[in-house]
Amino acid sequence: MMRTRPLKVALLGCGVVGSEVARIMTTHADDLTARIGAPVELAGVAVRRPDRVREGIDQALVTTDATALVKRGDIDVVVEVIGGIEPARTLITTAFEHGASVVSANKALLAQDGAALHAAAEEHDKDLYYEAAVAGAIPLIRPLRESLAGDKINRVMGIVNGTTNFILDKMDSTGAGYQEALDEATALGYAEADPTADVEGFDAAAKAAILAGIAFHTRVRLDDVYREGMTEVTAADFASAKEMGCTIKLLAICERAADGASVTARVHPAMIPLSHPLASVRGAYNAVFVESDAAGQLMFYGPGAGGSPTASAVLGDLVAVCRNRLSGATGPGESAYAALTVSPMGDVVTRYHISLDVADKPGVLAQVATVFAEHGVSIDTVRQSGKDGEASLVVVTHRASDAALTGTVEALRKLDTVRGVASIMRVEGE
Amino acid sequence: MMRTRPLKVALLGCGVVGSEVARIMTTHADDLTARIGAPVELAGVAVRRPDRVREGIDQALVTTDATALVKRGDIDVVVEVIGGIEPARTLITTAFEHGASVVSANKALLAQDGAALHAAAEEHDKDLYYEAAVAGAIPLIRPLRESLAGDKINRVMGIVNGTTNFILDKMDSTGAGYQEALDEATALGYAEADPTADVEGFDAAAKAAILAGIAFHTRVRLDDVYREGMTEVTAADFASAKEMGCTIKLLAICERAADGASVTARVHPAMIPLSHPLASVRGAYNAVFVESDAAGQLMFYGPGAGGSPTASAVLGDLVAVCRNRLSGATGPGESAYAALTVSPMGDVVTRYHISLDVADKPGVLAQVATVFAEHGVSIDTVRQSGKDGEASLVVVTHRASDAALTGTVEALRKLDTVRGVASIMRVEGE
């Protein structure tokens, strides 16, 4: 039975994503009506610059007063694509208070205040959906919280930032250094003028917090995520990775500890074997690898950003939220019942690839090996090379805790024969 | 607010999948309770052989009378993992009539009678979920019908049968022939004693029908799917594929025609470039590539079969259906409003790789090329090789309709200089 009164949608923000959402709502109106069971109507668009011409959007719908728009009381769904913490946070909670459900693409806000926003949604019996906040168009939030709802997820490991993957892929395929690859990414529009949020891992860390929270039914805040950017990755690191049959990716890794009682979430560059499915993710694409008890290994791959892909995810959520509204139900809310401990980085157990500049004289390897042994870090392979009194030593360890590795490196730095620690990189996906 | 009366689940079938569903329902009971908002209780298990010992299942729950079980009236959800058309079909419709929602893993039944089953579910305002029917644990049905509900899907192309992928991968990596690779698959348990359903493409065709129906909001029945098995694929075909930088996969391909008004669905072996993400899907894994207007290219990858992975998909559906039940709502039902024409194979447009055995004398290539031109099939590349009066000619075409190609091949067979058509294979994913 088709309802004729349309569902009213308020759009907050009309940039790259918002304008695409508005465009698809107009051009695909019949499809959306059929799939929802009622028409959807764009009831208002809140923007900062009202005078800018926005093709296909009725100027009468445009307002600079976002607060008044979400307070109207007749809005069914607020679509928030402004980004940032404020005013997005206040607008979303105000929307709930005034009877609307919310679809958001705001990873920073959800990573920081997801619990409070979910609580506000629940208090007012409204939906909060945010598929677009993680990995753009790739269906990931819904599969994790619905498709795998009967399974136990042990690890989520992925490439969730397209800018850094573009840069690392470029370094890998051309031998370019970081700055050169970044310049190309900027010129092609893959990197912003200020790339800090991407290259320092802040963007990926926000996504890791959201993914870990859903995967482990545990609140994980942005502050809980260990974060290391990829600005220090060098062409020499890629050369080392190649010798090991690996490449380097900036990974977001959310893991359940072996004892099951705690979890960790982290973002850092890591070597992964070329045979791993994530190694072949090229350019600005994203991919997320999920390991669970029953399903085994799953991977989700696609464009992680961009106006159209992000709009696709927003509209999928919009259809779901509208359907829920028509049936008087709400979808899954926050699930944090497991309340597992979020452990610090020191507790993470993985393998390491360490490059040392050492004096080229007898006994150095024995000294270095002793330091590893004293800290309980077992060595898998060592490669020595050198000439003219200088040498380099590449050590790959077996699995050890990050704390043990940190202690090892501190002690190595104190050795007279160690001139410097050229790089430390984690080895994942083996 | 936690409800204390448990939701009652009836399990139809307790084989590889069913026993795993029962096991997880027991071992993960607390998690399921937290995620659903109420406990779930296994209320009955219908089996054919009641005397078989089933570890962890209370013998008092076991019955041979599946009909009585689904008619009990107090069952909330029926989980059907029997497979086949009857008695599964009657049991599912009976379950709806007696107040239960249904989770099914039955691809054959859904491909044949999906519309009638959806109608029965809708008539009784109940859910029919079947994530496990396609590609095992890989979340695919839910992403297609929910995550992409605001997008326009143009193509779904995938490896949806693990047995045939195992065989083809083995042929590719070892140079083995079909029979040798099949024997190994059988010995390792990847192929059944009678492998017909897999190797002749029936299993993949059922999945293609289900996927096409969801992707295009159009009823697509098993009979609408063109089907060609992979028993004729030879080591020589793999050698030809390698020369082209390709491999061979059994693909299920559902496409919207360029004019948007019709769709096609087909299953056949095809060459795909090694650079395509589907080319690197190894062993018994499945992967499905989805192309849509806004999202672009997405891929979903994981184990396509097996007790645990399939149980993961069943349990994800079970959680969703139980949640719907608690909120008094139902999830998305059949969406066939678009009612596009399902075109026959002749209308499919793709590229072709044709190997001909020809007489090794002047003028043969000109004759062959003339036949292609007369049928409107444009040639991309030709490769000739031969000696001692015998030669082979490998033609790769530009895009042409299947009907035009069929006409071309018929005419080629009538040429005196063509001794035989050694193989015809479609080339996809370029």
In a domain, B243, yes or no: yes
- B261 in the same domain as B207: yes
Tell me if residue B84 falls in helix, strand or coil: coil
- Mean residue pLDDT of chain A comes to 95
- B298 in the same domain as B162: yes
Across the interface, whether the CB atoms of B319 and A150 are under 8 A apart is answered yes
In a domain, A245, yes or no: yes
| pLDDT band for position A221 (cuts 50, 70, 90) | very high
In a domain, A280, yes or no: yes
Identity of residue B310? T
Which residue is closest to B40 within chain A, CA to CA?
A150
In a domain, B340, yes or no: no
Question: B244 near B430, Cβ under 8 Å?
Answer: no
How far is the alpha carbon of B120 from chain A, nearest alpha carbon, in Å?
Answer: 16
pLDDT average, residue stretch A269-283: 93
Closest CA to B23 of B316, B315, B318: B315
- B251 in the same domain as B161: yes
Residue A66: give the domain boundaries: 7-137+307-327
Across the interface, whether the CB atoms of A34 and B293 are under 8 A apart is answered no
Question: B220 near B342, Cβ under 8 Å?
Answer: yes
- Record the tokens describing residue A164, joined without a space: 């850094």
pLDDT tens sequence across A5-49: 899 999 999 999 999 999 999 999 999 999 999 999 999 999 999
pLDDT tens sequence across A173-187: 999 999 999 999 999
Chain B residues with CB inside 8 Å of A150's CB? Answer: 24, 28, 32, 35, 311-312, 314-319
Which residue is closest to A291 within chain B, CA to CA?
B302
Across the interface, whether the CB atoms of A147 and B292 are under 8 A apart is answered no
Distances (CA, A) of B163 to A169, B188, B200, B274: 34, 11, 11, 20
Q: Is the pLDDT of residue A430 over 70?
A: yes
Task: State the virtual CA torsion across B235, B241, B247, B253 in degrees, nearest 10.
Answer: -110
In a domain, B255, yes or no: yes
Q: Is the pLDDT of residue A1 over 60?
A: no
pLDDT average, residue stretch A226-252: 95
Helices (H), A225-264: 235-243
pLDDT tens sequence across A139-149: 999 999 999 99
Please identify every stretch of chain B with a pLDDT value under 70, giving residue numbers as ranges: 1-4, 387
pLDDT average, residue stretch A412-426: 95
- B278 in the same domain as B228: yes
Chain B residues with CB inside 8 Å of A320's CB? Answer: 146, 149
Question: B259 near B218, Cβ under 8 Å?
Answer: no
- A258 in the same domain as A159: yes
- A207 in the same domain as A65: no
Known catalytic residues of A? Answer: 207
CATH number of the domain bearing residue B252: 3.30.360.10
Q: How many CB pairs under 8 A join A and B?
A: 192
- Record the tokens describing residue B234, joined without a space: 């030879």
Chain B residues with CB inside 8 Å of A20's CB? Answer: 294
Q: Is the pLDDT of residue A94 over 60?
A: yes
A19 is an annotated ligand-binding site residue? yes
In a domain, A340, yes or no: no
How far is the alpha carbon of B143 from chain A, nearest alpha carbon, in Å?
Answer: 6
Across the interface, whether the CB atoms of B332 and A318 are under 8 A apart is answered no
In a domain, B334, yes or no: no
CATH number of the domain bearing residue B381: 3.30.70.260
Partner residues linked to B390 by β-bridges: B359, B387
Chain A residues with CB inside 8 Å of B329's CB? Answer: 324, 327-329
CATH number of the domain bearing residue A18: 3.40.50.720
For B35, the closest of A20, A328, A335 (CB atoms) is: A335
Chain A residues with CB inside 8 Å of B150's CB? Answer: 24, 28, 32, 35, 311-312, 314-319
- B171 in the same domain as B92: no
Across the interface, whether the CB atoms of B142 and A138 are under 8 A apart is answered no
- What is residue A389's predicted lDDT score, i.e. its pLDDT? 72
Q: Is the pLDDT of residue A72 over 70?
A: yes
Looking at A327, A361, A395, the residue that finishes a domain is A327
pLDDT tens sequence across A328-357: 999 999 999 999 999 999 999 999 999 999
Of A38-42, A221-225, A320-324, A385-389, the poorest mean pLDDT is in A385-389
CA distance B57 to A130: 39
Cα angle at A395 between A392 and A396, to 5 degrees?
150
Q: Is the pLDDT of residue A3 over 70?
A: no
DSSP class per residue in B8-58: EEEEE--SHHHHHHHHHHHHTHHHHHHHHTS-EEEEEEE-S-TTS--TTS-
- Record the tokens describing residue A44, joined without a space: 């208002």
Identity of residue B259? D
CA distance B208 to B205: 5
Chain B residues with CB inside 8 Å of A314's CB? Answer: 150
- B178 in the same domain as B220: yes
- A92 in the same domain as A14: yes
Across the interface, whether the CB atoms of A142 and B143 are under 8 A apart is answered yes
- What is residue B53's predicted lDDT score, i.e. its pLDDT? 79
- Record the tokens describing residue A338, joined without a space: 């497991």
Tell me if residue A152 falls in helix, strand or coil: coil
Tell me if residue A308 falls in helix, strand or coil: helix
- B397 in the same domain as B289: no
Looking at residue A156, the DSSP 8-state letter turns out to be E
Cα angle at B52 between B47 and B54, to 5 degrees?
85
- How many domains, in total, are found in chain B? 3
Partner residues linked to A392 by β-bridges: A357, A385
- What is residue A53's predicted lDDT score, i.e. its pLDDT? 79
Across the interface, whether the CB atoms of B330 and A327 are under 8 A apart is answered yes
pLDDT average, residue stretch A131-141: 94
Q: What are phi and psi of A62, to 5 degrees?
A: -80, 135
Q: B310-325: string of b/e by CB count within 10 Å (b at 16+)?
A: bbbbbbbbbbbbbbbb
- B19 in the same domain as B127: yes
Distances (CA, A) of A123 to A103, B137, B380, B424: 17, 34, 64, 62
How far is the alpha carbon of A225 from chain B, nearest alpha carbon, in Å?
Answer: 25
Q: Which of A140, A298, A321 to mutate to test the interface with B (most CBs of B within 10 A)?
A: A298
Across the interface, whether the CB atoms of A150 and B28 are under 8 A apart is answered yes
For B146, the closest of A138, A150, A320 (CB atoms) is: A320
Across the interface, whether the CB atoms of B296 and A309 are under 8 A apart is answered yes
- A52 in the same domain as A34: yes
Question: B247 near B256, Cβ under 8 Å?
Answer: no
Known catalytic residues of B? Answer: 207
Which residue is closest to B334 within chain A, CA to CA?
A35
- What is residue A235's predicted lDDT score, i.e. its pLDDT? 94
In a domain, A333, yes or no: no
pLDDT tens sequence across A348-388: 999 999 999 999 888 899 999 999 999 999 999 999 887 67
Which residue is closest to A298 within chain B, CA to CA?
B302
* The 3-state secondary structure of B149-198, one letter per residue: CCCCEEEEEEECCHHHHHHHHHHHHHCCCHHHHHHHHHHCCCCCCCCHHH
